[in-house]
Amino acid sequence: MSDNHSGALQELELAEQIPPKERLKKGPVAIIECVEEIPCNPCVEICPQGAISITGGLNKIPRLDWDKCNGCGVCISGCPGLAIFMVDLTEGKEEAKVALPYEFLPLPDKGETVMALDRKGKPLGSAEVLRVQRGKRLDRTPIVTIALPREWALQARNIRRLHR
Amino acid sequence: MRITEHPILQFKRGKKIPFTFDGRELFGYEGEMVAAALHAAGVTTYRRSPQLHRHRGFFCAIGKCSSCLMSVDGIANVRVCITPLREGMVVRSPQGKGQISSEDTPAQWPWPGQYADEILETEVAIVGAGPAGLSAAIETTGLGVETMVVDENDRIGGQLIKQTHMFFGSKEQYAKVRGIDIAPLLLDHIESTRAQIMLGATVVGLFEGKTLGIVRGRDFFCLRAKKVIVACGASENMLAFENCDLPGVHGAGAVQTLMNVYGIIPGRKVLMVGAGNIGLIVSYQLLQAGVDVVEVIEAAPHIGGYQVHAAKIKRAGVPIRTCHTIIKATGREKVEGAVVAKVDENWNPVDETQRELLVETVCLAVGLSPTAELLFQSGCQSWYIPELGGYVAAHDENLETTVRGVYVAGDVSGIEEASTAMLEGRLAGLSAAESLGKKVALGRKKNVLDQLAELRAGPFGEKARRGKEKMSQEAWSHVR
């Protein structure tokens, strides 16, 4: 279905899941990169704002109400497919923020410079780690928030530590 | 190599203990399986094939294939992948097909253990303590039925114990919970006063009068039940290619067992064959264990698994190559590499596209087959349904087979995944209890059936849907 049918989504395929520009400008918002009909719905219950819905059966594609979503990021670690990211492209800010699930060791440190990777694992350039969240509520799926140039915000979906 | 740090798991190893392998002293940890200890100690050849003397290691690591048969403390043909290591164990590579009488055997021949004269009795016997078997026990014990669960492993949970990822589905099916955390939750729901769980016990036959023959250690005994639920899962498929029998070619489940249950990496560089959900998930878990997944290859033009699973390894930089197959594994005594090639539209390899990859492990994720031998031995009629993974015991909508009172649940009734296995287990448990005269509240079975239908409703459920349809329309009406 994507990338020569081998896994990485193209932005075009995500068109319906990516909030409109006007919404992105307003502040942080989740992007649910889940475009196949698979039987799964934990995202619906986990959202404290009630912004995610799946209608017409368990297999339908989750939809996010951009206006209800406040970008809290709770859904990131609650998605069994690790397919939810938070993007902050607030207008007027110099850099963008991306929060992503990161289930690898060692975790990066706050302030560390890491390599931002796109959906195919291709390096985009360096990013700064702003926050590393972990804890019981996240059930072993830490959330890493990075600051990076605005033009990468819709592409950066992973990080690589530069020194181990 | 043993894993010291892991993002999801903590490995609690037992006491470090010595054992011998062909006279050489090695060390392992108490409680881990002999096969795992050997692998961690760097042993790759466990035996030689009887005729061509080819090197053989373990393939499935869950007691389903016979690749790892060794001599242990003088007993021939022991599956070392499900045999817990004990201090001072004497492990030997078997000679030929294995010698049943050797100098190591101190006790009397033919069987150094005991035949129990007494036959144990229970109302419901469940074979297999995986997601299906445990779920069945929840329903039977909840309805006041005396139940005994028999499993040949040393712990409950079946293959849940290595599933470090969060499950899909909805809340009723433990969505968002990691597989490793589900077995204890299931156990909590089993009415313990009504249940016995017998571990390390292999059911070797299902005889007249619903009597199970059970081997446990050196002992043999019988268990007679009014109803039997067989939930013994599936085994990993092999793929035929040159040197596919070399040590280092493992099933994906075996790799998962080794790294997620025992904390041992299979090799430093891995080629994954198959991009269904198992291939994709295990690739991700290999990355989490610090292993380099060199490539994932898939013969079909599309990945078979969920896009979200593929995305996790793609964004980590692992290439997934569709229209690719493995030509051969290279290496003399163990895997040292693999040759892969593109396939054309007729699935024939294109010679000029051959490439050799340097890998230590070739991981096969090419499907599963139901472990239905016990059912067939007991006289259940079988039916070949490719969508369900091959030969399965014909069964009705209550999961009852043609041997009345014998039920199936989980992968043994048709390959799906753990969420549907749990639901089928509940259905079999309810059906068995009902047939024993227990009153099952109206709607209980319907609720389970509705959940099953919903899980199978999407495009990814099509195969199972078609398989189950063939079962009810072709197979059952034919055999009945």
Tell me the per-residue pLDDT of A12-50, one tens digit each, with 9 for 90 and over: 778 889 999 999 999 999 999 999 999 999 999 999 999
Phi-psi group of A54: left, alpha or beta (phi > 0 → left; psi -120 to 50 → alpha; rest → beta): beta
From B456's Cα to the closest Cα of chain A, the distance in A is: 8
B201 and B275 together in one domain = no
Mutate to test the interface with A, among B315, B321, B451, B460 (most CBs of A within 10 A): B315
Q: Is the pLDDT of residue A149 over 50?
A: yes
B120 and B216 together in one domain = yes
The phi, psi pair for B157, rounded to 5°, reads 115, -15
From A94's Cα to the closest Cα of chain B, the distance in A is: 26
The phi, psi pair for B79, rounded to 5°, reads -80, 100
B231 and B119 together in one domain = yes
Q: Residue A119: what pLDDT?
A: 96
10-residue stretch averages of pLDDT, chain B, 480 residues long: 96 96 97 97 96 95 94 91 96 84 50 72 98 98 98 97 97 96 96 94 95 91 97 97 98 98 97 98 98 98 96 97 98 98 96 98 98 97 97 97 98 97 98 98 95 97 97 88
DSSP state of B417: -
Mutate to test the interface with A, among B173, B177, B314 (most CBs of A within 10 A): B314
B305 and B453 together in one domain = no
Rounded to an integer, what distance in angstroms lies between the CA atom of residue A69 and that of residue A31?
A: 10
The CATH code of the domain that includes B272 is 3.50.50.60
Q: Residue B116: what pLDDT?
A: 73
Q: What residues of chain A lie within 8 A of the CB of B288, using their CB?
A: 103-104
DSSP state of B102: -
- pLDDT band, residue A1 (cuts 50/70/90): very low
Among the listed residues A147, A29, A154, the one whose alpha carbon sits nearest the alpha carbon of residue A93: A147
> Domain for residue B407, yes or no?
yes
| Domain count for chain B | 3
Chain A / chain B CB contacts < 8 angstroms: 143
> Domain for residue B99, yes or no?
no
Looking at B92, B123, B157, the residue that finishes a domain is B92
Q: Do A121 and B306 touch (CB under 8 A)?
A: no
Burial B321-337 (b: 16+ CB within 10 A, else e): bbbbbbbbbbbeebbeb
Q: Is the pLDDT of residue A2 over 50?
A: no
Identify the domain containing residue B196 by its residue range. 115-235+369-479
DSSP reduced 3-state for A61 = coil
> Domain for residue B8, yes or no?
no
Among chain B residues, CA nearest to A33: B308
Non-local (6+) Cβ contacts of B197 within 8 A are: B129, B137, B148, B149, B151, B156
B266 and B409 together in one domain = no
| Own/partner pairs, B9-15, CB within 8 angstroms, 24+ separation | B9/B164, B9/B180, B9/B260, B9/B263, B11/B262, B11/B263, B13/B263, B15/B87
B359 and B381 together in one domain = no
The CATH code of the domain that includes B88 is 3.10.20.440
- The DSSP bridge pattern shows strands B211-216 and B219-230 to be antiparallel
Rounded to an integer, what distance in angstroms lies between the CA atom of residue A52 and that of residue A41?
A: 9
| Own/partner pairs, A132-136, CB within 8 angstroms, 24+ separation | A132/A107, A132/A108, A133/A73, A134/A107
B388 and B436 together in one domain = yes
B337 and B407 together in one domain = no
Q: Do A104 and B175 touch (CB under 8 A)?
A: no
From B285's Cα to the closest Cα of chain A, the distance in A is: 10
Average pLDDT of the segment spanning A129-152:
96
- pLDDT band, residue A7 (cuts 50/70/90): confident
Instruction: Say what the pTM is.
Output: 0.96
B394 and B359 together in one domain = no
Is residue A5 packed enough to be buried (19+ CB in 10 Å), middle (13-18) or exposed (0-12)? middle
Structure tokens that stand for B114 in this block: 């005991």
Q: Residue B96: what pLDDT?
A: 82
B305 and B411 together in one domain = no
Rounded to an integer, what distance in angstroms lies between the CA atom of residue B246 and that of residue B72?
A: 22
Looking at B345, B366, B387, the residue that finishes a domain is B366
Q: Residue A4: what pLDDT?
A: 46
Q: Residue A5: what pLDDT?
A: 52
DSSP state of A62: P
Which H or E element spans position A53?
A: strand A52-53
Q: Do B455 and A1 touch (CB under 8 A)?
A: no
Domain ranges of chain A: 21-161
Q: Do B455 and A39 touch (CB under 8 A)?
A: yes
Looking at B366, B396, B419, the residue that finishes a domain is B366
B78 and B176 together in one domain = no
> Domain for residue B11, yes or no?
no
Percent pLDDT > 90 in chain A is 87
> Domain for residue B213, yes or no?
yes
B319 and B464 together in one domain = no
Burial B103-122 (b: 16+ CB within 10 A, else e): eebeeeeeeeeeeeeeebeb
From A110's Cα to the closest Cα of chain B, the distance in A is: 18
